[in-house]
Structure 1
């Protein structure tokens, strides 16, 4: 079964031995926390994503990796093509480093300094597609250029939330919620000198990013699955309507959709030409409870035991790597290996120390490593300059994260 959410205590304890032995045998320096990526799991996850995509190309979500070597590794896997970036500065860097020459921004940008770089570089402008959802975004781009000689590629962010009439369910992204609104914005793009409309994006976060098979939450999970089914049905119609309306204006290069949790439904839509995945390569804690795939965690961080305040408690150094999103327990890191450890209700995961209780705590000694999983994917690597790559039972390489490259996007 592996080391995912359904892994037995025996399997998680074997993982603990494997990770801790690999670190102990490593000759180079190791920071705290020690970040390790299991390449065997990473490669297996990439293959599984491609299986689920059933031939639809997968764009790599860089926000969910933030390690250049891992982005390159994913792009080298058959079935993956292009990057979905999260800032223009990042996109310019990835292009300049030769990591990708096909980068779509997932979010609109008002970074005038980065835009000023883009509009004077024919090469970068040909490789990077900006996201827009209003005419104001076009005006920001125009405000930084004195000439429209370099055409700027743009895509429209079409809202993919579930419309329940009284409210919308999903990420609060784009004001473009209908075919009429999409056509109005598309007309503004194609009629404006210096712009090329090349794509549409629909990110159905309420399908891709919400767990739907959570233990102890049977009723809630059933409701989530029903909302997902309704979202998928509604999106089929919305995408078809918008695609038909845009066909008279321009020929699109791509239609991007989905995320790691919605690969199958997104790829099955004939309008969609590519899907996106990132978290599915590393499988953080929030991706444990999906019916669509079996989790195979690939990213871990190790913290040393520095205190034994009593026989039933082991305290590790640091640990407060809390994920973004609503303030709730699901955003806390998971003590994963060895099995049988829990955060305490009083201290939780702390900035300087994290006490752990449970049966396994009694057997831990000063200096032992406890391995955690972050709740989200790329955020883990904002906390370190180096990621160590594990193959089999050995650390085979140490590679810089964005932070290790001196970057903060």
Structure 2
């Protein structure tokens, strides 16, 4: 039996007593992916990106391993919930205008000590101050540096549109603005190179595109290493006790940790290894998170229909944002229907071997977004479910 057939047989046996749709995490694959991230990080700590996991039990599991330290959260409400749950190092990596949340943060010593918030505009400080009320706790601030690659004299920009602060001088000016304000303390710098960490460079059948991506990323890594280093030095002149400098993601671990200025790297998607992460040449993850949809119809030869399945990932709309039918191998979408809201026809000769009630296992395009569709993850070891744990959604938490 080949590996794909073996995995399908294991997952079917493990979940035979459960009704589909359902989602699982293969713990052997999850743990192997975690170990590989630690290897790639070369001794620097990995801050876990919670948006890519969205399950407290699995966050606790990975943070119990050597090599992982801290969480990178995506909303203030989530950050406060995690702090209340006992996580003591949470970086809110996206600016917030949650006034009620900031009122809680500034009035709760435990939360204020655990949570750091990204800032890239003095207006964000104004909003926090306006939300303080009687709260007198100092807010831990992380400054964000723009990492995008500028080409042709600034006429072409490659990278995510995040912080407005691109130069070391601009980031130092932001640090001064924070330092002048009572009630705030600069503790970190963040610089996420999305165009390197989040763009695959292995594009079979597209040699020109692949070459262009690799050339862009090579230039981006060189440019950013120099600029990030200079920016961190400029901030450290003002804040000698800076606690951390965060960068990168699953797709850029090796190049990010190679920079002396960087003290930690962020990663999360690599734990589940969704389908978009098949497109990287520097590492190979093991698919760890899958979901099953049951066969409910057999419309004709070479066709089965499964319940649901239409759960695309965020980002530019395209086929690469769709889940991929994974097990059994050999199934594809009907080009006229695609994955549907309540049913999805799948084509292929292997469909004739499927019966009503059988499962088709899918891989989602991105990582943690899968958990917004399922309230539990069934944790599989070998061919048995060893535990079923709630996702954020299963705990009644829908932060975005």
User: TM-score by structure 2 length?
Assistant: 0.97
Rounded to whole Å, the distance in 2 between the matches of 1:295 and 1:310 is 36
Rounded to whole Å, the distance in 1 between the matches of 2:313 and 2:135 is 41
Aligned to 1:325: 315
8 Å Cα contact 1:148/1:194 also seen in 2: no
Aligned to 1:34: 22
Moved more, 43-52 or 350-359: 350-359
1:385 to 2:372 alignment: no
| Equivalent residues in 2 for 1:27-176, closer than 5 Å | 29-30=18-19, 32-98=20-86, 100-147=87-134, 149-164=136-151, 165-176=154-165
1:221 to 2:210 alignment: yes
1:16 to 2:16 alignment: no
Aligned to 1:238: 227
Rounded to whole Å, the distance in 2 between the matches of 1:123 and 1:398 is 30
Rounded to whole Å, the distance in 2 between the matches of 1:387 and 1:182 is 41
Task: Provide the secondary structure at the position in 2 that maps to 1:119.
Answer: helix
Task: Provide the secondary structure at the position in 2 that maps to 1:288.
Answer: helix
1:178 to 2:170 alignment: no
Aligned to 2:298: 308
Deviation by residue 1:178-197 (Cα, 9 ceiling, x = unmatched): 11210111000011100000
Deviation by residue 1:52-72 (Cα, 9 ceiling, x = unmatched): 000010000000010111111
Deviation by residue 1:69-104 (Cα, 9 ceiling, x = unmatched): 111111011100000000010011111111x10000
Distance 1:148 1:67, change over 3 A: closer
Deviation by residue 1:256-307 (Cα, 9 ceiling, x = unmatched): 0000000000000000000011000000111111011012110000011000
Aligned to 1:3: none
CA shift for structure 1 position 14: 1.6
Moved more, 335-344 or 216-225: 216-225
CA shift for structure 1 position 167: 2.1
| Equivalent residues in 2 for 1:289-308, closer than 5 Å | 289-308=279-298
8 Å Cα contact 1:160/1:235 also seen in 2: yes
1:346 to 2:333 alignment: no
Rounded to whole Å, the distance in 1 between the matches of 2:349 and 2:195 is 37
CA shift for structure 1 position 149: 2.9
Task: Provide the secondary structure at the position in 2 that maps to 1:136.
Answer: helix
Rounded to whole Å, the distance in 2 between the matches of 1:278 and 1:123 is 25
Rounded to whole Å, the distance in 2 between the matches of 1:220 and 1:296 is 25
Task: Provide the secondary structure at the position in 2 that maps to 1:356.
Answer: strand
Rounded to whole Å, the distance in 2 between the matches of 1:147 and 1:366 is 61
> Which of residues 358, 363, 387 in structure 2 aligns to 1:373?
363
| Equivalent residues in 2 for 1:246-261, closer than 5 Å | 246-251=235-240, 252-261=242-251
8 Å Cα contact 2:105/2:112 also seen in 1: yes
Unpaired runs of 5+ residues, structure 2, are none
| Equivalent residues in 2 for 1:390-405, closer than 5 Å | 390-405=380-395
8 Å Cα contact 1:318/1:353 also seen in 2: yes
Task: Provide the secondary structure at the position in 1 that maps to 2:261.
Answer: coil
Aligned to 1:407: 397
8 Å Cα contact 2:14/2:385 also seen in 1: yes
Rounded to whole Å, the distance in 1 between the matches of 2:157 and 2:166 is 10
Runs of 4+ in 1 over 2 A off after TM superposition: 146-149
Rounded to whole Å, the distance in 1 between the matches of 2:216 and 2:396 is 42
Corresponding pairs, count: 396
8 Å Cα contact 1:148/1:193 also seen in 2: no
CA shift for structure 1 position 146: 3.4
> Which of residues 180, 185, 194 in structure 2 aligns to 1:196?
185
8 Å Cα contact 1:153/1:197 also seen in 2: yes
Unpaired runs of 5+ residues, structure 1, are 1-8
Deviation by residue 1:124-150 (Cα, 9 ceiling, x = unmatched): 001100000110111110011135631
Aligned to 1:6: none
8 Å Cα contact 2:103/2:133 also seen in 1: no
